Amino acid sequence: MQWLPAFLLLAQLNQKPKGQVPSARQASCGYMKLKVDLIPLRQRKQKPTDPLKLEFGTTFTDHMFTMSYREGMWNDPRIGPFQPLSLNPAAMCLHYGQGVFEGMKAYRRKGKVYLFRPRDNILRLNSSAKRIVMPEVDIDFTLDCLKDLIRIERDWIPEVSGTSLYIRPTMIATEPKLGVRASLEYLFYIILSPVGPYFREGFNPVKLLVSEKYVRAVRGGIGFSKTVGNYAASLLAGKEAADQGYSQVLWLDALDRQYIEETSTMNVFVKFRDELATSPLDGTILPGITRDSVLRISRDWGLKVSERRVSIHELLKGIEAGTVQEVFGAGTAAIIAPIGELSYQGTAYVINGGKTGDLTRRLYDEILGIQCGERQDSHGWVLSV
Protein backbone atom coordinates (compact mmCIF):
# COMPACT_ATOMS: atom_id res chain seq x y z
CA MET A 1 0.00 0.00 0.00
CA GLN A 2 1.16 3.48 -0.75
CA TRP A 3 2.42 5.41 2.31
CA LEU A 4 0.47 8.60 3.04
CA PRO A 5 1.26 11.35 5.53
CA ALA A 6 -1.19 11.66 8.43
CA PHE A 7 -2.98 14.72 7.08
CA LEU A 8 -3.60 12.99 3.76
CA LEU A 9 -4.99 9.93 5.48
CA LEU A 10 -7.42 12.15 7.36
CA ALA A 11 -8.51 13.69 4.08
CA GLN A 12 -9.03 10.27 2.55
CA LEU A 13 -11.28 9.43 5.48
CA ASN A 14 -13.30 12.51 4.65
CA GLN A 15 -12.55 14.21 7.94
CA LYS A 16 -11.63 17.82 7.94
CA PRO A 17 -8.28 18.28 9.67
CA LYS A 18 -8.16 21.46 11.73
CA GLY A 19 -5.17 23.71 12.26
CA GLN A 20 -1.71 22.27 12.39
CA VAL A 21 -1.61 18.56 11.69
CA PRO A 22 1.53 16.83 12.92
CA SER A 23 3.22 14.74 10.27
CA ALA A 24 6.80 13.68 9.74
CA ARG A 25 6.50 14.66 6.09
CA GLN A 26 4.67 17.96 6.55
CA ALA A 27 6.74 20.94 5.43
CA SER A 28 8.34 23.09 8.10
CA CYS A 29 11.06 25.71 8.09
CA GLY A 30 12.46 27.17 11.29
CA TYR A 31 9.62 29.17 12.81
CA MET A 32 7.05 28.10 10.17
CA LYS A 33 4.97 24.97 9.89
CA LEU A 34 2.57 24.25 7.08
CA LYS A 35 -1.09 24.19 8.09
CA VAL A 36 -3.51 22.13 6.08
CA ASP A 37 -7.24 22.69 5.82
CA LEU A 38 -8.80 20.29 3.34
CA ILE A 39 -12.23 20.34 1.75
CA PRO A 40 -14.28 17.23 2.59
CA LEU A 41 -14.25 14.77 -0.30
CA ARG A 42 -17.95 15.10 -1.03
CA GLN A 43 -17.59 18.86 -1.57
CA ARG A 44 -14.75 18.59 -4.06
CA LYS A 45 -15.13 19.57 -7.70
CA GLN A 46 -15.75 17.20 -10.59
CA LYS A 47 -12.50 16.37 -12.39
CA PRO A 48 -12.36 16.87 -16.15
CA THR A 49 -13.43 13.84 -18.16
CA ASP A 50 -11.30 14.65 -21.21
CA PRO A 51 -8.18 16.57 -20.14
CA LEU A 52 -6.93 16.75 -23.73
CA LYS A 53 -9.85 19.07 -24.52
CA LEU A 54 -9.17 21.49 -21.66
CA GLU A 55 -8.51 25.08 -22.60
CA PHE A 56 -5.11 25.89 -21.11
CA GLY A 57 -5.29 27.31 -17.59
CA THR A 58 -9.05 27.54 -17.14
CA THR A 59 -9.72 24.64 -14.74
CA PHE A 60 -8.35 24.68 -11.19
CA THR A 61 -7.99 22.04 -8.52
CA ASP A 62 -9.68 22.05 -5.09
CA HIS A 63 -6.80 23.43 -3.02
CA MET A 64 -4.12 26.11 -3.13
CA PHE A 65 -1.08 27.04 -1.10
CA THR A 66 -0.78 30.54 0.42
CA MET A 67 1.81 32.30 2.58
CA SER A 68 1.94 35.95 3.55
CA TYR A 69 4.82 38.34 4.19
CA ARG A 70 4.67 41.03 6.87
CA GLU A 71 7.23 42.77 9.07
CA GLY A 72 10.11 41.30 7.10
CA MET A 73 9.05 37.65 7.46
CA TRP A 74 7.01 35.02 5.67
CA ASN A 75 4.14 33.79 7.80
CA ASP A 76 1.13 31.53 7.91
CA PRO A 77 1.95 28.91 5.24
CA ARG A 78 -1.24 27.07 4.53
CA ILE A 79 -2.89 24.68 2.13
CA GLY A 80 -6.59 25.45 1.97
CA PRO A 81 -9.50 25.58 -0.45
CA PHE A 82 -8.92 27.19 -3.87
CA GLN A 83 -10.83 30.42 -3.53
CA PRO A 84 -10.87 34.10 -4.56
CA LEU A 85 -8.39 36.40 -2.84
CA SER A 86 -9.53 39.28 -0.72
CA LEU A 87 -7.43 42.31 -1.71
CA ASN A 88 -7.55 45.92 -0.61
CA PRO A 89 -8.30 48.05 -3.72
CA ALA A 90 -5.14 49.99 -2.89
CA ALA A 91 -3.00 46.80 -2.87
CA MET A 92 0.25 47.85 -4.51
CA CYS A 93 0.30 44.99 -7.05
CA LEU A 94 -2.79 46.53 -8.64
CA HIS A 95 -1.16 49.91 -9.11
CA TYR A 96 2.57 49.43 -9.58
CA GLY A 97 2.78 45.95 -11.05
CA GLN A 98 4.73 44.25 -8.29
CA GLY A 99 3.88 40.71 -9.25
CA VAL A 100 5.95 37.73 -10.38
CA PHE A 101 5.08 34.16 -11.24
CA GLU A 102 6.42 30.84 -12.39
CA GLY A 103 5.21 28.01 -14.58
CA MET A 104 6.03 24.39 -13.96
CA LYS A 105 4.36 21.02 -14.49
CA ALA A 106 3.68 17.77 -12.65
CA TYR A 107 3.28 14.58 -14.68
CA ARG A 108 1.57 11.37 -13.59
CA ARG A 109 2.45 8.24 -15.45
CA LYS A 110 1.90 4.61 -14.35
CA GLY A 111 0.79 5.84 -10.92
CA LYS A 112 3.94 7.90 -10.27
CA VAL A 113 4.14 11.68 -10.06
CA TYR A 114 7.11 13.72 -11.30
CA LEU A 115 8.23 17.33 -11.18
CA PHE A 116 10.82 18.65 -13.63
CA ARG A 117 13.65 20.84 -12.27
CA PRO A 118 11.35 22.47 -9.66
CA ARG A 119 14.27 24.04 -7.76
CA ASP A 120 15.25 25.94 -10.88
CA ASN A 121 11.77 27.42 -11.06
CA ILE A 122 11.90 28.54 -7.44
CA LEU A 123 15.37 30.01 -7.98
CA ARG A 124 14.05 31.92 -10.98
CA LEU A 125 11.05 33.10 -8.96
CA ASN A 126 13.49 34.53 -6.43
CA SER A 127 15.54 36.17 -9.15
CA SER A 128 12.38 37.76 -10.64
CA ALA A 129 11.24 38.86 -7.16
CA LYS A 130 14.59 40.47 -6.38
CA ARG A 131 14.48 42.49 -9.59
CA ILE A 132 11.31 44.27 -8.52
CA VAL A 133 12.19 44.51 -4.82
CA MET A 134 10.04 41.66 -3.58
CA PRO A 135 11.15 39.19 -0.90
CA GLU A 136 12.61 35.82 -1.78
CA VAL A 137 11.10 32.55 -0.57
CA ASP A 138 12.97 29.72 1.15
CA ILE A 139 13.66 27.25 -1.63
CA ASP A 140 13.51 24.01 0.38
CA PHE A 141 10.42 25.01 2.33
CA THR A 142 8.59 26.18 -0.78
CA LEU A 143 9.45 22.96 -2.57
CA ASP A 144 8.25 20.89 0.40
CA CYS A 145 4.96 22.81 0.50
CA LEU A 146 4.56 22.35 -3.25
CA LYS A 147 5.15 18.63 -2.92
CA ASP A 148 2.51 18.43 -0.15
CA LEU A 149 0.04 20.33 -2.34
CA ILE A 150 0.75 18.03 -5.29
CA ARG A 151 0.27 14.94 -3.10
CA ILE A 152 -3.09 16.28 -1.92
CA GLU A 153 -4.17 17.01 -5.49
CA ARG A 154 -2.61 13.98 -7.16
CA ASP A 155 -5.97 12.71 -8.43
CA TRP A 156 -6.20 15.92 -10.45
CA ILE A 157 -3.06 15.12 -12.43
CA PRO A 158 -4.22 13.69 -15.74
CA GLU A 159 -2.40 10.54 -16.90
CA VAL A 160 -3.11 10.72 -20.62
CA SER A 161 -0.19 11.44 -22.94
CA GLY A 162 -0.11 15.16 -23.82
CA THR A 163 -1.53 16.22 -20.44
CA SER A 164 -0.10 17.37 -17.11
CA LEU A 165 -0.86 19.48 -14.07
CA TYR A 166 0.32 23.04 -14.68
CA ILE A 167 1.65 24.71 -11.52
CA ARG A 168 1.49 28.48 -11.13
CA PRO A 169 3.45 29.88 -8.15
CA THR A 170 2.68 33.60 -7.89
CA MET A 171 3.78 36.48 -5.65
CA ILE A 172 1.94 39.81 -5.40
CA ALA A 173 2.33 43.00 -3.38
CA THR A 174 -0.59 43.41 -1.00
CA GLU A 175 0.19 46.48 1.10
CA PRO A 176 -2.56 49.10 0.67
CA LYS A 177 -0.66 52.24 -0.31
CA LEU A 178 -0.67 54.66 -3.22
CA GLY A 179 2.77 56.17 -2.74
CA VAL A 180 5.30 54.74 -5.18
CA ARG A 181 7.78 52.46 -3.43
CA ALA A 182 8.19 48.74 -2.88
CA SER A 183 5.39 47.18 -0.85
CA LEU A 184 6.08 45.96 2.67
CA GLU A 185 3.51 43.15 2.45
CA TYR A 186 3.16 40.27 0.01
CA LEU A 187 1.13 37.19 -0.72
CA PHE A 188 2.70 34.11 -2.25
CA TYR A 189 0.40 31.41 -3.57
CA ILE A 190 0.46 28.31 -5.71
CA ILE A 191 -2.49 27.22 -7.81
CA LEU A 192 -2.79 24.11 -9.97
CA SER A 193 -4.51 23.56 -13.29
CA PRO A 194 -4.87 20.29 -15.23
CA VAL A 195 -3.90 21.00 -18.84
CA GLY A 196 -3.63 19.53 -22.31
CA PRO A 197 -1.47 21.08 -25.07
CA TYR A 198 -0.78 24.83 -24.81
CA PHE A 199 -1.42 25.56 -28.48
CA ARG A 200 -4.65 24.83 -30.30
CA GLU A 201 -2.41 23.27 -32.95
CA GLY A 202 -1.12 20.64 -30.44
CA PHE A 203 2.33 19.44 -31.50
CA ASN A 204 1.95 20.89 -34.99
CA PRO A 205 3.81 23.84 -36.49
CA VAL A 206 2.63 27.27 -35.36
CA LYS A 207 2.84 30.54 -37.27
CA LEU A 208 4.51 33.61 -35.79
CA LEU A 209 4.29 37.28 -36.69
CA VAL A 210 7.62 39.09 -36.34
CA SER A 211 6.85 42.29 -34.48
CA GLU A 212 8.12 45.43 -36.18
CA LYS A 213 5.95 47.90 -34.32
CA TYR A 214 6.33 46.86 -30.68
CA VAL A 215 9.19 45.72 -28.47
CA ARG A 216 9.15 43.58 -25.34
CA ALA A 217 12.25 44.42 -23.34
CA VAL A 218 15.46 46.42 -23.30
CA ARG A 219 18.76 45.59 -21.69
CA GLY A 220 18.77 46.85 -18.13
CA GLY A 221 15.00 46.39 -17.93
CA ILE A 222 12.95 43.48 -16.59
CA GLY A 223 12.90 41.24 -19.67
CA PHE A 224 14.81 38.41 -17.96
CA SER A 225 12.33 38.15 -15.11
CA LYS A 226 8.88 36.61 -14.97
CA THR A 227 7.15 39.78 -13.85
CA VAL A 228 3.53 40.41 -14.72
CA GLY A 229 4.44 43.65 -16.54
CA ASN A 230 6.38 41.76 -19.20
CA TYR A 231 3.24 39.91 -20.15
CA ALA A 232 1.08 43.05 -20.11
CA ALA A 233 3.58 44.64 -22.50
CA SER A 234 3.13 41.75 -24.93
CA LEU A 235 -0.66 41.70 -25.09
CA LEU A 236 -1.40 44.26 -27.79
CA ALA A 237 1.14 42.78 -30.18
CA GLY A 238 -0.26 39.33 -29.36
CA LYS A 239 -3.80 40.45 -30.09
CA GLU A 240 -2.83 42.03 -33.40
CA ALA A 241 -0.97 38.84 -34.35
CA ALA A 242 -3.98 36.69 -33.40
CA ASP A 243 -6.29 38.96 -35.43
CA GLN A 244 -4.13 38.18 -38.45
CA GLY A 245 -4.18 34.43 -37.78
CA TYR A 246 -0.82 34.03 -36.02
CA SER A 247 -0.34 32.07 -32.80
CA GLN A 248 2.20 34.43 -31.26
CA VAL A 249 4.67 37.24 -31.85
CA LEU A 250 8.38 36.78 -32.43
CA TRP A 251 10.09 39.68 -30.70
CA LEU A 252 13.11 41.50 -32.09
CA ASP A 253 15.61 43.33 -29.91
CA ALA A 254 14.43 46.77 -28.85
CA LEU A 255 17.50 48.77 -29.91
CA ASP A 256 18.42 47.62 -33.42
CA ARG A 257 15.13 45.84 -34.19
CA GLN A 258 17.29 43.26 -35.93
CA TYR A 259 18.00 40.34 -33.68
CA ILE A 260 15.45 37.68 -32.81
CA GLU A 261 14.77 37.32 -29.11
CA GLU A 262 11.86 35.09 -28.05
CA THR A 263 8.10 34.78 -28.23
CA SER A 264 5.95 35.82 -25.28
CA THR A 265 5.85 32.29 -23.88
CA MET A 266 8.85 30.50 -25.40
CA ASN A 267 12.55 30.84 -26.12
CA VAL A 268 13.34 30.33 -29.79
CA PHE A 269 15.87 27.98 -31.43
CA VAL A 270 17.11 27.97 -35.02
CA LYS A 271 18.56 24.79 -36.52
CA PHE A 272 21.04 25.66 -39.25
CA ARG A 273 22.68 22.85 -41.24
CA ASP A 274 25.55 22.51 -38.80
CA GLU A 275 24.50 24.53 -35.76
CA LEU A 276 21.66 24.93 -33.28
CA ALA A 277 21.47 28.61 -32.25
CA THR A 278 19.45 30.51 -29.67
CA SER A 279 19.57 34.07 -28.33
CA PRO A 280 22.05 34.67 -25.49
CA LEU A 281 20.90 35.54 -21.97
CA ASP A 282 21.75 39.22 -22.13
CA GLY A 283 18.99 40.45 -19.86
CA THR A 284 16.19 40.83 -22.38
CA ILE A 285 14.92 37.27 -22.62
CA LEU A 286 13.68 34.81 -20.05
CA PRO A 287 16.28 32.25 -18.90
CA GLY A 288 14.03 29.34 -19.78
CA ILE A 289 14.44 26.04 -17.95
CA THR A 290 13.29 24.19 -21.05
CA ARG A 291 15.76 26.34 -23.04
CA ASP A 292 18.57 25.22 -20.76
CA SER A 293 17.44 21.59 -21.05
CA VAL A 294 17.46 21.83 -24.86
CA LEU A 295 20.99 23.26 -24.80
CA ARG A 296 22.29 20.56 -22.48
CA ILE A 297 20.62 17.65 -24.29
CA SER A 298 21.76 18.93 -27.69
CA ARG A 299 25.33 19.21 -26.42
CA ASP A 300 25.06 15.66 -25.03
CA TRP A 301 24.03 14.56 -28.51
CA GLY A 302 27.15 16.15 -29.97
CA LEU A 303 25.41 18.99 -31.80
CA LYS A 304 27.19 22.29 -32.25
CA VAL A 305 25.19 24.62 -30.05
CA SER A 306 25.56 28.42 -29.96
CA GLU A 307 24.06 31.05 -27.72
CA ARG A 308 24.43 33.94 -30.11
CA ARG A 309 22.47 36.70 -31.73
CA VAL A 310 20.70 35.69 -34.93
CA SER A 311 19.47 38.57 -37.05
CA ILE A 312 16.08 38.40 -38.69
CA HIS A 313 17.85 38.81 -42.05
CA GLU A 314 20.17 35.85 -41.39
CA LEU A 315 17.15 33.81 -40.38
CA LEU A 316 14.98 34.73 -43.36
CA LYS A 317 17.82 34.35 -45.87
CA GLY A 318 18.56 30.96 -44.34
CA ILE A 319 14.93 29.90 -44.66
CA GLU A 320 14.93 30.93 -48.32
CA ALA A 321 18.25 29.22 -49.02
CA GLY A 322 17.32 26.07 -47.09
CA THR A 323 20.23 26.47 -44.65
CA VAL A 324 17.72 27.04 -41.84
CA GLN A 325 16.24 23.60 -41.49
CA GLU A 326 14.04 24.00 -38.43
CA VAL A 327 12.82 26.65 -36.02
CA PHE A 328 11.15 25.79 -32.74
CA GLY A 329 10.10 27.31 -29.43
CA ALA A 330 10.85 25.94 -25.96
CA GLY A 331 8.97 26.73 -22.76
CA THR A 332 7.27 25.06 -19.82
CA ALA A 333 3.72 25.42 -21.08
CA ALA A 334 4.45 24.53 -24.70
CA ILE A 335 7.44 22.19 -24.01
CA ILE A 336 8.79 22.17 -27.60
CA ALA A 337 6.69 23.79 -30.33
CA PRO A 338 7.59 23.54 -34.01
CA ILE A 339 7.44 26.88 -35.83
CA GLY A 340 6.31 26.45 -39.42
CA GLU A 341 5.99 30.00 -40.67
CA LEU A 342 7.22 33.51 -39.94
CA SER A 343 5.66 36.66 -41.30
CA TYR A 344 7.93 39.71 -41.62
CA GLN A 345 7.10 42.97 -43.38
CA GLY A 346 4.08 41.40 -45.03
CA THR A 347 5.92 38.37 -46.47
CA ALA A 348 5.39 34.82 -45.21
CA TYR A 349 8.45 32.58 -44.88
CA VAL A 350 7.65 28.88 -44.66
CA ILE A 351 10.14 26.76 -42.72
CA ASN A 352 10.85 23.15 -43.66
CA GLY A 353 7.77 23.07 -45.90
CA GLY A 354 5.63 23.95 -42.87
CA LYS A 355 6.42 20.56 -41.32
CA THR A 356 7.86 19.56 -37.95
CA GLY A 357 11.60 18.93 -38.25
CA ASP A 358 13.44 15.82 -37.05
CA LEU A 359 15.44 17.55 -34.32
CA THR A 360 12.32 19.34 -33.04
CA ARG A 361 10.48 16.02 -32.77
CA ARG A 362 13.49 14.28 -31.21
CA LEU A 363 13.91 16.98 -28.57
CA TYR A 364 10.19 16.99 -27.80
CA ASP A 365 10.17 13.21 -27.31
CA GLU A 366 13.33 13.29 -25.21
CA ILE A 367 12.30 16.15 -22.90
CA LEU A 368 8.74 14.93 -22.45
CA GLY A 369 10.06 11.39 -21.92
CA ILE A 370 12.36 12.62 -19.14
CA GLN A 371 9.61 14.77 -17.61
CA CYS A 372 7.25 11.79 -17.50
CA GLY A 373 9.83 9.41 -16.04
CA GLU A 374 9.84 7.36 -19.24
CA ARG A 375 13.36 8.20 -20.44
CA GLN A 376 16.67 8.15 -18.65
CA ASP A 377 17.22 11.26 -16.54
CA SER A 378 21.00 11.51 -16.77
CA HIS A 379 21.06 15.11 -15.46
CA GLY A 380 19.04 14.38 -12.31
CA TRP A 381 16.31 16.82 -13.33
CA VAL A 382 13.27 14.84 -12.27
CA LEU A 383 11.90 14.77 -8.76
CA SER A 384 9.52 12.01 -7.83
CA VAL A 385 6.75 13.30 -5.54
Applying CB under 6 A, the residues found at the interface with ligand COI are 103, 265, 331-333
Rounded to an integer, what is the distance from CA 38 to the centroid of its chain? 26
For the bound state, the minimum distance from the C-beta of residue 36 to ligand COI, rounded and expressed in Å, comes to 26
Return the residue nearest ligand COI (CB atom): 103
For the bound state, the minimum distance from the C-beta of residue 333 to ligand COI, rounded and expressed in Å, comes to 3
For the bound state, the minimum distance from the C-beta of residue 127 to ligand COI, rounded and expressed in Å, comes to 15
Given the complex with ligand COI, which of 78 and 124 has the nearer CB atom? 124
Q: How many CA atoms lie within 13 A of 213 on its CB side?
A: 13
For the bound state, the minimum distance from the C-beta of residue 108 to ligand COI, rounded and expressed in Å, comes to 18
Given the complex with ligand COI, which of 99 and 331 has the nearer CB atom? 331
Burial 325-341 (b: 16+ CB within 10 A, else e): bbbbbbbbbbbbbbbbb
Strand 275-278 and strand 305-307: the pairing is: parallel
Given the complex with ligand COI, which of 34 and 146 has the nearer CB atom? 146
For the bound state, the minimum distance from the C-beta of residue 370 to ligand COI, rounded and expressed in Å, comes to 17
Using CA atoms, how far apart are residues 92 and 184, in angstroms rounded to an integer? Answer: 9
For the bound state, the minimum distance from the C-beta of residue 49 to ligand COI, rounded and expressed in Å, comes to 24
Taking phi over 0 as left and psi of -120 to 50 as alpha, with beta for the rest, 148 belongs to: alpha
Using CA atoms, how far apart are residues 100 and 120, in angstroms rounded to an integer? Answer: 15
Given the complex with ligand COI, which of 225 and 332 has the nearer CB atom? 332
Given the complex with ligand COI, which of 263 and 325 has the nearer CB atom? 263
Using CA atoms, how far apart are residues 122 and 117, in angstroms rounded to an integer? Answer: 9
Which whole-number Å values give the CA distances from 303 to 272, 295, 322, 362, in the listed order? Answer: 11, 9, 19, 13
Given the complex with ligand COI, which of 126 and 332 has the nearer CB atom? 332
